[in-house]
Structure 1
Amino acid sequence: MAETAAAAAAAEAASAETPPFQLGKPRFQQTSFYGRFRHFLDIIDPRTLFVTESRLKEAVQLLEDYKHGTLPPGVTNEQLWSAQKIKQAILHPDTNEKIFMPFRMSGYIPFGTPIVVGLLLPNQTLASTIFWQWLNQSHNACVNYANRNATKPLPASKFIQGYLGAVISAVSIAVGLNALVQRANKFTPATRLLIQRFVPFPAVASANICNVVLMRHNELEEGIDVLDSDGNIVGSSRIAARHALIETALTRVVLPMPILVLPPIIMSVLEKTFLLQSRPRLLLPVQSFVCLAAFGLALPLAISLFPQMSEIETSQLEPEIALATASRTVVYNKGL
């Protein structure tokens, strides 16, 4: 009897902590960094990778029932928030189509960590440098495409152009910096090795900007849809598209900082310990764990810099859009 009462009290407390459900709205406030951080922790939750097709259909149907006021009795706010989390993690917000698992934000860490480990391997050859930079930018290009603002179609030529631009810039910068380090005779071998470990960051950061700008350049030409407070499309804005690309590009620069800077520093310290010196086979597993931890920290921090559905004042947009609505502000999907 006491256990039943305790369970009921716990359920009631959990229900009290759960905010009232709002369809299409984030569970946590997006006006603060902490709120966005908690929101994106939900978005990148890798457990959503294992959601079955039937569970996805149930979640979508539950949200449809809520939308049309036909919810079954007894459905809680927690169940509705959970259903929306599943839908947002798997389906694209603009197309409502399933995102391929390795390119979902929830799959970015599990599928991206092996690539980060490869980028940070010591004593890279020319071939291995090119391979890991190519693989990283291929993954990034697909993630950018899968999570883009899809209110306007992206021609295949634009995708290929952005992909090739990112790969060429990443490989050129990485190979060029490695060559400079190798020719720097004043560095000791140990210092040269340490500097080489930091080479991936400028290469990846520069290529990430190229990747975003080239792959989404058509948004600057055609604009992206902006919506009023009721979710109605007000118009297509090139100014909003520019804001979206700048915010996404900044995110892509911040993202690799902890991933490609912290592990080299940590590993340079750990490699001097007796454990790793006596057991060199542990080097790769330890480096993999360090990269995974850095990745897990960096991703939610970086994508929390700006809300996915960003807000902008209509007075900052094109005159025809400002005249088309009485709303003081409109929102647009920045993309991830």
Structure 2
Amino acid sequence: MRWAAANQRGAVAPGGGARRRGRRLFKVALLRRAKGMAAPADYPPFQLGKPRFQQTSFYGRFRHFLDIIDPRTLFVTESRLKEAVQLLEDYKHGTLPPGVTNKELWEAQKIKQAIIHPDTNETIFMPFRMSGYIPFGTPIVVGLLLPNQTLASTVFWQWLNQSHNACVNYANRNATKPSPTSKFIQGYLGAVISAVSIAVGLNVLVQRANKFTPATRLLIQRFVPFPAVASANICNVVLMRHTELEEGIDVLDNNGNIVGSSRIAAKHALLETALTRVVLPMPILVLPPIIMSILEKTSLLRSRPRMILPVQSLVCLAAFGLALPLAISLFPQMSEIETSRLEPEIAMATTSKTVVYNKGFSSLGSLMPRVHHWLSMVAAIGGETTSKDQNTTLNSSYSIRTKSMELGKR
């Protein structure tokens, strides 16, 4: 009788309440998503100077780099920047006003890190910020991939690419441990010369290859920028870091203590960095030519050749925007090596079977510059990274000392 009365009042059978609650929660989640509100799990308790996402997984690194290159921070006003900086200062001194959420703190840190240099506290010029790398770098990628380039245009776009990267490198340099200006110039000139030489040389070889049809020759020329940029990356690594092969780099035990400087570890770090700098530009410089070679065969572009350049620009933008964070997220910053493979004095100085070393920033080399404040946020194993004074504590068992984090030596 009770159930009958309940049903007459519009109630439901047992289990209906749970279903209604589930539907309500689902609707709430949809509303929150529609309003751009992230779930609480997306905003963990705030930690000053540390990444919002764990760096132990590919997904965590991917989300982290999406924040780093978010172009929306380019439109932050001066007043909003001041508010973000002041909010972080209030947090640092324990004077936060009531009601401030973790989301507000994380957003404030994202804004400050995107605009303000971590060492000099000066505003980084917009085209040279990491959040501006895709918007300002895409036209250069489009230029690099233009078909039927002349000798002059090939030289120009390769030079412009390396010059843009050099400016980004310098704007985001490690100002606490500055490298000599001569080293920047040496790396820049080496990258420009190698990129231009390879690009021009390959174009000449392709044009003189009589075995290729004009269509095949044009298709091959589309891929010339990749080996040119890859060679520039390798040249840049060697010129900027060749002294490490003689001096060695620091290796750390399980407790984060510096065991010593290893030349063998330096060799591994250099090889790993060179390899990743060859692999990572691939999706940005290889995917667009493949996609465009397919799209240009469609009736739409055949009948409207003027649309080829706009379509290619959109393809490059999509490849740049999607492939870049995916590619950067593939490789963790710290590498591990068995002590038995290192110098005898290193193996005898620790009881750990393995040690770790910072392989240096390897995310795209000439195409994706080495950036100090990226390193300070990413060069960790457990998501815990360096603070302003470079005293780093890792979520895992590692604690990375200041010396291992000096980008100037890397």
With normalisation by structure 2, the TM-score equals 0.68
1:108 partner amino acid: Y
* Shift in CA distance, 104/221, structure 1 to aligned 2, threshold 3 Å: farther
Matched residue, 2:88: 63
* Matched residue, 2:399: 330
Counterpart of 2:188 in structure 1 is 163
Cα drift, residue 53 of structure 1: 2.4
Change (3 A) 1:220 1:100: farther
In structure 2, relative to structure 1, the CA distance for the partners of 1:98 and 1:311 (3 Å cut) is farther
Shift, 1:159, TM fit:
1.3
Provide the alpha-carbon RMSD of the alignment.
3.8
Aligned match for 2:220, one of 195, 207, 220: 195
Aligned to 1:31: 56
Instruction: Tell me if the contact between 1:144 and 1:212 (Cα under 8 Å) persists in the aligned partners.
Output: no
The equivalent residue for 1:267 is 292
For the 8 Å contact 1:33–1:305, the answer to whether it is kept is: yes
Q: Which residue number in structure 2 is paired with residue 109 of structure 1?
A: 134
Query: In structure 1, what residue type is equivalent to 2:44?
Result: P
1:234-267: CA deviation from partner (whole Å, max 9, x where unpaired): 8997879877766654443233211111111111
Other structure's SS at 2:399 match? strand
The superposition leaves residues 25-63 of structure 1 with CA deviations (integer Å, 9 ceiling, x where unpaired) of 111110011100000000000011111222222212211
**Identical-pair percentage:** 83
- Decide which of 68, 71, 85 is 1:46's aligned counterpart: 71
Contact 1:104 1:143 in 2 (8 A): yes
Corresponding letter in the other structure for 2:117: H
Partner SS state of residue 330, structure 1: coil
Paired with 1:61 and 1:218, the residues of 2 have a C-alpha distance of 41
Q: Which amino acid aligns with 1:296?
A: G
User: What one-letter code is carried by the residue in structure 2 that aligns with 1:182?
Assistant: Q
Q: Distance in 2 between matches of 1:75 and 1:113?
A: 37
Count, aligned residues: 326
Query: Would you say the 8 A contact 1:224–1:238 is kept in 2?
Result: yes
Distance 1:134 1:24, change over 3 A: same
Structure 1 residues 92 and 307, CA gap change in structure 2 (3 angstroms): farther
Q: CA offset at residue 18 of structure 1?
A: 2.2
Q: Do residues 125 (structure 1) and 194 (structure 2) align?
A: no
> Where do residues 119-268 of structure 1 align in structure 2 (5 Å cutoff)?
119-215=144-240, 249-268=274-293
Say which of 39, 43, 60 aligns to 1:18: 43
Structure 2 residue runs without a partner (length 5+): 1-27, 351-391
Displacement after TM superposition at 1:23 (Å): 1.3
Instruction: Describe the shift of the 1:109–1:312 C-alpha distance in structure 2 as closer, same or farther (beyond 3 A).
Output: same
Q: Which has the higher contact order (CA 8 A, sep 6+)?
A: 2
What residue is the counterpart of 2:366 in the other structure? Answer: none
Of stretches 175-184 and 150-159 in structure 1, the one that deviates more from structure 2 is 150-159
Following the alignment from structure 1 to structure 2, what is the Cα–Cα distance between the partners of residues 226 and 62?
37
**Alpha-carbon distance between aligned partners in 2 of 1:190 and 1:205, rounded to the nearest angstrom:** 25
Aligned equivalents of 1:224 and 1:85: distance in 2? 31
Matched letter for residue 261 of structure 1: V
Change in 2 beyond 3 A, CA 1:290/1:16: closer
- Structure of larger gyration radius: 2
- 1:121-171, CA deviations, whole angstroms, 9 ceiling, x for partnerless residues? 111111111111111111122223333444421222111111110000000
SS at 1:268 equivalent? helix
2:327 maps to 1:281: no
Structure whose residues are more often helix by fraction: 1
Task: Tell me, yes or no, if the aligned pair for 2:119 and 2:174 is still in contact at 8 Å.
Answer: yes
**Structure 1: 5+ residue runs without aligned partners?**
1-5
Verify the 8 A CA contact 2:194 2:231 in the aligned structure 1: yes
SS of residue in 2 equivalent to 1:329: coil
Change (3 A) 1:212 1:13: closer
Separation of aligned partners in 1, 2:119 and 2:76: 21
8 Å CA contact 1:30, 1:36 repeated in 2: yes
Contact 1:119 1:132 in 2 (8 A): yes
Distance 1:84 1:168, change over 3 A: same
